Amino acid sequence: MVFITRPLLVLFLSCYTSLALYTPPDNYLISCGSSQNITFQGRTFVPDSLHLLKTGNSSVVEEATNSSNLSIYQTACVFSGLASYRFRISSPGRHWIRLHFSPIKNSTWNLTSASVTVLTDDFVLLNNFSFKNQQILKEYTVNVTTDSLTLTFIPSNKSSLAFVNAIEVVSVPDSLIPDHANTLHPSSPFPLSRLAFETVYRLNMGGPLLTSENDTLGRRWENDAEYLHVNSSVLVVTANPSSIKYSVSATQETAPNMVYATADTMGEAANVANPSFNLTWVLPVDPEFSYFVRVHFCDIVSQAMNELVFNLYVNDDLAHPSLDLSSLTNGLKVPYFNDYISNASSYSGGSLTVSVGPDSQGDITNATMSGLEVFKISNEANSLSGLSSVKSLLPGGGGSCSNEKKVVIIGSAVGAVTSVLLIAVCCYCCLASSTRKKSPREGGNGNGNWLPLPLYGLSQTLTASRKSNTASCISLASTHLGRCFTFQEIMDATSKFDESSLLGVGGFGRVYKGNLEDGTDVAVKRGNPRSEQGMAEFRTEIEMLSKLRHRHLVSLIGYCDERSEMILVYEYMANGPLRSHLYGGELPPLPWKRRLEICIGAARGLHYLHTGASRSIIHRDVKTTNILLDKNFVAKVADFGLSKTGPSLDQTHVSTAVKGSFGYLDPEYFRRQQLTEKSDVYSFGVVLMEVICCRPALNPVLPREQVNIAEWGMAWQKKGLLDQIMDINLAGKVNLASLKKFGETAEKCLEEYGVDRPSMGDVLWNLEYALQLEETSLALMEADDNSTNHIPGIPMGAMETFDNSIVDRGGGNSGTGIDDDATTSAVFSQLVHPRGR
């Protein structure tokens, strides 16, 4: 093992050239606008005349140069209208499409103002893409299933231009990209074969820039230094490329040996003060898409087998615990890689993070990574850029067809519509008959049971009449589930889902701000068909919220299930999620009193769920992103898609599959798959820790003992030093008695076993008590400018006594009496009096 500086490493590796192993069946290298062959980075690009379809919209631009070594970026083909290239495909399967752009200077065309849309037969690669004065390489991977591939270039508007400097269409080895990969949260197979990818990052950890001269597949590998979270924490390690021992699973096509011959590591020489520090790369991404992540490893660090054991994190998820490379590969210097799917809902601040950190099972405190690839995955519109489909972007709504084809299409459409109408009439008759036969108690059309939502928009075909813009959803309206909106009403309210009105992206889908015809502001949540949450969550959300009305629960206004859509319409919460006011944004810090009021509001909402109905309701996804704030900072609990009806009186729990968000999951529920109201209490305890510390529930960027806020916060709380890790903005501004009560409440919530945790009523009462302590302190501080961190005039010993007493909540006896309010329970006196347990 050799430690080497980056400049020397570049010089060392530049002398080594890999041997060709794979010959692509299709290998088109096109120099657009050129009249001669151009050799670039060891490959020959030919003129585009054989592939450019005849059009009057194209012109040639050439940059004036005296150089004998022409570059593919010195010529371009410019389009003032739609133009296409067509390539004959001899071997169907995945192909790379690489588009080279450089807005070269020209007296006729101003290419820096160009705005380009690029389409294949099935996928949108670029939509309204603009350029700065720089060279850009865009790489895509598309599965071509026919004998030809068409690339269409369209100026994004009438006053704009489209252009391209060079095009590559190259076959991808069959073994390079799998048909499935596992999602991170939760782990499940994710099909890839019909999806397209865009290469967002391809990094060579610790190594130099690699181009087609070093990679026989023409890939470009960048150095990773720009994306390291803490650059000084990295120790670059290198080995002789010829010493890399490829296996059956990881071959030269997986990545060049130059990638596996270098690595970023940590250790004593890495200048890391904390030995459990994680090595982290922060990669800005578009949060509206999911990503295919491939991580490359090669143990060129260890001197013996089984020495190096470490953990791999992707975002907040532990992707691979206790990773022992030598055991997986049966040797040292043997390449290994693994693939993961990171969902669109898991990004914090628009960044994807990948981290490695040491595991306690290893003999050495170290971690390593050799390479990283991140690919954007096409969305439900078959697009890698926005939400528009190929058909919607082509002039006229999608190409031309012959009259015969039109007749067939029209005939098929008429037949299909007729069939649907007949089926709908039959369904309606059956439903009406069934309704007449059943009384409300038997599950008819009364106020009792849920009538099943149709899978894709059939409630609209069951509409008896539509004389106005308001939907008349026969299948749902009589069940008091809120207003049934038409899809057109939703489109009008959101200005056709205008991106400027986007409020956020969640596990169910995207949320937009809307405005109804009466001027009411609303939040519109549009379901993503490819989300892990689907019809079941959609139905649960409507069913739950239609029964619940409370000041501290977000109100459901209505829904839309027309045109295969799953759309929910809520009251608009002007101040957004609690999380955005704690960290990850630029909003001003919340004062301690307001934080307490927000926690109390959320606790009231959860307490109502647990006790306010005939059967308790367990939220199952309590977190700071699901606590929303209105314009007055009143907290309301939101997102009931995972909610579950609680156990009946003769049961202690509900047995169900584990669902929720990592970092907030009740460990007892996770182990035993037994859900109780105390699972919400645990999650709320994590929320309390976030409120006081202003950091995420899980953060793999931090040292190992700080990754999980529940464990880290409780370690300080048990020492009585919670004030040492609280938000710096609260320093000197919090009454210590109030903070102590808050910390004790969080500690009780985070007990490992549910039986040891308080009820939400107990939590609520203790938070209200903490607020009273804070308000008393503030009142006395106003009367005495010399007040600091405790109530003046009361010795700290007396404060302890005051802190352990019960607050009289309007009529109850202080000390030992129990209020008639439903928020109390038998364990409350034990919770308030620690000596009672």
Q: Report the CATH number at residue 534.
A: 3.30.200.20
Contact 356, 297 (CB under 8 A): no
pLDDT digits (tens, 9 = 90+) for 377-432: 999 999 999 999 999 998 876 443 344 444 444 555 555 555 556 655 555 555 44
Which structural domain range is residue 507 located in?
Answer: 440-571
Indicate whether 241 and 369 sit together in one domain: yes
For residues 351-374, give the mean pLDDT.
87
Judge if the upstream peptide bond of residue 186 is cis by omega within 30 degrees of 0. Answer: yes
Q: Report the CATH number at residue 247.
A: 2.60.120.430
764 band by pLDDT with thresholds 50, 70 and 90 = very high
Indicate whether 227 and 147 sit together in one domain: no
Looking at residue 557, its pLDDT comes to: 87
Residue 717 lies inside a defined structural domain of this protein: yes
Indicate whether 559 and 647 sit together in one domain: no
Indicate whether 127 and 273 sit together in one domain: no
Distance CA 55, CA 48 (A): 13
Res 203 pLDDT > 70: yes
Residue 22 lies inside a defined structural domain of this protein: no
Burial 396-418 (b: 16+ CB within 10 A, else e): eeeeeeeeeeeeeeeeeeeeeee
Contact 359, 310 (CB under 8 A): yes
Residue 125 lies inside a defined structural domain of this protein: yes
Q: Report the CATH number at residue 744.
A: 1.10.510.10
**Dihedrals φ, ψ of 193, to 5°?**
-60, -30
Looking at residue 58, its pLDDT comes to: 67
Res 162 pLDDT > 50: yes
Indicate whether 147 and 195 sit together in one domain: no
Write down the residue that tokens 């009021």 correspond to: 597
Indicate whether 222 and 99 sit together in one domain: no
596 band by pLDDT with thresholds 50, 70 and 90 = very high
Q: Which of 126, 147, 171 is the C-terminal boundary of a domain?
A: 171
Residue 396 lies inside a defined structural domain of this protein: no
Looking at residue 648, its pLDDT comes to: 61
Q: Is 119 helix (H, G, I), strand (E, B) or coil?
A: strand
Greatest mean pLDDT among 66-70, 133-137, 713-717? 713-717
Identify which of 24, 338, 295 has the alpha carbon closest to the alpha carbon of residue 172.
24
Looking at residue 435, its pLDDT comes to: 39
Looking at residue 640, its pLDDT comes to: 82
For residues 76-104, give the mean pLDDT.
93
DSSP 649: T
Indicate whether 508 and 560 sit together in one domain: yes
Res 438 pLDDT > 90: no
pLDDT top residue among 472 and 73: 73
Residues with a catalytic annotation lie at 621
Residue 517 lies inside a defined structural domain of this protein: yes
Indicate whether 559 and 483 sit together in one domain: yes
As given in the structure block, the two tokens for residue 766 are 């203790």
Residue 650 lies inside a defined structural domain of this protein: yes
pLDDT top residue among 768 and 670: 768
Indicate whether 495 and 601 sit together in one domain: no
Indicate whether 162 and 40 sit together in one domain: yes
Residue 43 lies inside a defined structural domain of this protein: yes
CA distances from 373 to 339, 510, 766 (A): 9, 26, 49
Res 714 pLDDT > 90: yes
Question: Residue 593 carries which side chain, given as an amino acid letter?
Answer: K
Looking at residue 383, its pLDDT comes to: 96
Indicate whether 416 and 562 sit together in one domain: no
Q: Which of 517, 541, 571 is the C-terminal boundary of a domain?
A: 571
Count of domains forming the chain: 5
525 annotated among ligand-binding-site residues: yes
Categorise residue 555: left if φ over 0, alpha if ψ from -120 to 50, beta otherwise: beta
Residue 395 lies inside a defined structural domain of this protein: no
Indicate whether 222 and 370 sit together in one domain: yes
For residues 614-640, give the mean pLDDT.
91
pTM for this model (two decimals): 0.52
What percent of the chain is predicted at pLDDT more than 90? 45
Q: Which of 156, 171, 186 is the C-terminal boundary of a domain?
A: 171
Looking at residue 298, its pLDDT comes to: 96
